[in-house]
A and B are shown apart, each in its own frame.
Chain A
Amino acid sequence: METLLGQGRAAIDLIVDAGSFTEGTVGARTFDDPDFGPGAVVGTASLEGETVTVIASDAEAFNEKFPVVYSGIIGLEEGYKMAQAVYATLAADAEKAAASKRPIVLIVDTPGNGPGKVEEIFGMNKATGAYQLALAEARLAGHPIVAMVVGRAISGAFLCHGLQADRILSLTSEFQTMIHVMPITSVSRIIKKDVELLEALAKSNPVFAAGPAFFFKLGGVERLVETIDGMRPAIAAQIADIRKAKADKAATALTGPRGRGALGAERGGRTVRPKVQELLRSEFAAVEERFRPRAN
C-alpha cells in the first residue's frame, strides 16, 4: 500500500488543483528566506477553483540553526512561521464577510515539537501556543479550516498543527497514518500495565490506543478517507459543510474542538465530558446570585 508519510510536499500536490501551489506567499506576505523555518511549508493554492492557504511540514528539511528540527518536527521558527501564515490569511480577507473568508488546509505529518535546551530556554511552548491561538482566531473569524492527516499526527505537534481545525480528516491506517500521544508500548511502560491488557481494553475503550480509527471513535477525527484520490473531494466537501455550519445562527452543528467534543459523546467515545459541564452549569446557576453585582 502506498504511503504519504514523510512526503508533505507531495501531499500538497495531490490535494490542491494541479500546479496551483505557490510556496512562500500568503496574501500580501511573502516568506523569502529559505533558511527560515524550513520544516514548515506555507503558501497559497486553489482547491476546486477556490483560493486556499496551505500549511504543511517538510520531513526532508533540516533547520541548521535549530538542529532538533528534522523529519517534520515543528521547532521555534516553524511554529511562528505557521502562525504568520495564519495571520497573513486573516489580514488578506479582513474586509471580506465571514462567509467568504478563504479556507486554510493543514496537511498533517509531524512527529513532534522541538525538544531541546535552547527551545526550552526561549520557550517552545510559546511558539506552538502562538500557532494554535492564530488558528483559533481564524476559525472563529469564519475561515473554514480543514486538517488532513496524511502521515504522523503525534501528541503536542498534532495539538499545534491539526487539532484547532474546524474539521479533521485522516487517511486510514493502511496508509501508515499515525495519530497518538504515545505508542501503546510506551504507554504500557509508563503506566505499568501489560500491553496485552491495554490492547484488549482498547477494543471497547479507544481512549489510550494509537491510530486514526480510535480517534474517529472518540470524535477526534470527523472522517476517515480511504483513498488518496478521495482526499481532495473530501476536503472540498468539508469546506462547504463548515461554511454551512458557521452560517447557522442557531449553531446546531458545532465545528472545531468543541464540535469534536459533541461528536465524542455521539460516537460513544467520550460520554462523561458533557455531563461534567452540565453539572458545573447547574451548580453555578444555584449560587450565581451571590456573584452578581451587589446592590448599593
Chain B
Amino acid sequence: MPNWNRLQTNSFLECSARDRAVGLVDEGSFVELGGPFDRLVSPHLVALGEAVENDDGIVTGVGRIGARPVFVISQEGRFIGGSVGEVGGAKMVGIIDMAIDFNDRLVAEFPDLPPSARPLVAISFETGGVRLHEANAGLLAHAEVMDALQRARHKVPVVALIGSRIGCFGGMGFVAAATDAIVMSEFGRLGLTGPEVIEQEMGKDEFDASNRALVYRTTGGRHKYVMGDANFLVDDTVAAFRAQLADLCALPVSSFEAMRRIGSPELVEKQLRGVALAAELKPSDARDVWRHAGNNDPVGLADGPLADFRKSVRRLAL
C-alpha cells in the first residue's frame, strides 16, 4: 500500500490509478474489489497474444470519506491508454450497481440515514474510450455504463474526477458528461472526439493536434470550467481532488441535480442555448467563447496562475 499521507501532496496528473483510488478516500479505508490477485484479465487480449494486466487497467473498490461509503472506479492510462473492454466495463458497471443496491438496502433499513452516510460513486477517468482490441465488447460495455448512471439517478451521486494524462475521451467523454458533478484540474481534458481523430477526419485546418496549447484551450480544465461542464476546478494534487470530493460527500443526492449539465428536458433546452450561441459566434477558437462570456483578456487569463483564474474568470451563462 502506498503511504497515504505522502500521496496527498502528489501531483494527481502523475498518479497511478491505484494511488488515486487509495488517496481519494480516508486513510486506510480503501478495499480493492476485483484486484490484481483476482487476475481479471481480458481474454480477448490473451487471444491476440497481447500483454495483459491483472486488473485490466481499472482499479475498483470501496472506501470511506467520513461516514460515507465511497465506491471508487479509477482508470489507468498507462495500460493501453485506459481503454475500456469487456472486463473493465464489467467492473465499472458492477461497482455502480453495487453502490445502488447497497444504498437501497441501507435506506430500507435506516430510513433516516443522513445523506453523508449514504453511498456515493467516484470515477477517476483516464481513458480514450473503447479498447480497439475488443472493440465490440467495449462498445456494448459503454452502453451498460450509461444505463447504470441513469439507474443511479436520484439515489447515488456519481462524481467524475478528471486530471490524468490521457484525459477523458471517446465514449467515456459522454459517460463523464452523464455523471452528476465533474471535478477537473487544469491538466484534465474532456471531450468526445480526440484531437488526433478530428485532425485525421477533418484535416489540419480544422484542428492541428500537434498544437498542445490549442488542445488544452479546446478540451482542458480551464475551458470546461468556463463552459460550465466542469463544476469545480482544483489544484493538481491528490489532496485538492480529495478535498473537493469530501465537500461533495456532505450533500444529499438531491443537491447534485443542480450541478448536472444533461439529464432532463430543461437541461437540454439550456444546452441548446449554447448550441445557438455556437452557431451565432462561429468560434474559431475557444477564446472567442471566453470573450463572449465577459473575459476581456482571455490570453492573460489562460496563462495566469490558477488561483487568479478561479478568482477573476467569468463563466458562460446560458
Q: How far is the CB of A56 from chain B (nearest CB, A)?
A: 19
Nearest A residue (CB) for B195: A120
A134 to B269, CA, bound (A): 13
Q: How far is the CB of A104 from chain B (nearest CB, A)?
A: 15
- Per-residue 0/1 for B148-190: is the Cβ within 8 Å of any A Cβ (1 yes, 0 no)? 0111010000000000000000110111111000000000001
Q: How far is the CB of B266 from chain A (nearest CB, A)?
A: 9
Known contacts A115-B201, A132-B174, A182-B135; decide if A201 and B146 are in contact (CB<8 Å). Answer: no
> Chain A contact residues: over half helix, strand or loop, or mixed?
helix
The contact size tier of chain B is: 35 or more
In the complex, the answer to whether B106 meets A293 with C-beta atoms within 8 Å is yes
A258 within 8 A of B: yes
A283 to B139, CA, bound (A): 27
Q: How far is the CB of A164 from chain B (nearest CB, A)?
A: 6
Known contacts A125-B176, A125-B190; decide if A257 and B146 are in contact (CB<8 Å). Answer: yes
A269: chain B residues at CB < 8 Å are: 137
Known contacts A117-B206, A129-B178, A201-B48; decide if A277 and B90 are in contact (CB<8 Å). Answer: yes
In the complex, the answer to whether A124 meets B86 with C-beta atoms within 8 Å is no
In the complex, the answer to whether B113 meets A293 with C-beta atoms within 8 Å is yes
B263 within 8 A of A: yes
Q: How far is the CB of A33 from chain B (nearest CB, A)?
A: 11
In the complex, the answer to whether B136 meets A181 with C-beta atoms within 8 Å is yes
Known contacts A207-B136, A214-B136, A276-B40; decide if A125 and B174 are in contact (CB<8 Å). Answer: yes
- Per-residue 0/1 for B43-84: is the Cβ within 8 Å of any A Cβ (1 yes, 0 no)? 110011010000000001010100101000000000000000
Q: How far is the CB of A214 from chain B (nearest CB, A)?
A: 6
In the complex, the answer to whether A164 meets B147 with C-beta atoms within 8 Å is yes
A182 to B191, CA, bound (A): 19
A119 to B278, CA, bound (A): 9
Q: How far is the CB of B135 from chain A (nearest CB, A)?
A: 4
A127 to B262, CA, bound (A): 8
B221-257 CB contacts (< 8 Å) to partner A: 223-224, 227, 229
A276: chain B residues at CB < 8 Å are: 34, 40, 87, 90-91, 94
Nearest A residue (CB) for B173: A125
A191 to B80, CA, bound (A): 10
Interface contacts beyond A155-B139, A163-B139, A181-B135: sample of 6 additional A-B pairs, CB < 8 Å, sorted by A: A121-B227, A125-B177, A132-B174, A156-B170, A187-B135, A276-B90
- A-B interface, 8 closest residue pairs, ranked by CB to CB distance from nearest: A129-B174, A136-B150, A181-B135, A163-B143, A125-B173, A130-B262, A276-B90, A87-B265
**Residues on A close to B: CB < 8 A?**
65-66, 68, 76-77, 80, 83-84, 87, 91, 113, 115-130, 132-134, 136-137, 140, 155-156, 158-160, 163-164, 180-182, 187, 190-191, 193, 201, 205-209, 214-215, 218-220, 256-258, 260-261, 264, 269-274, 276-277, 279-281, 283-284, 287-288, 290-294
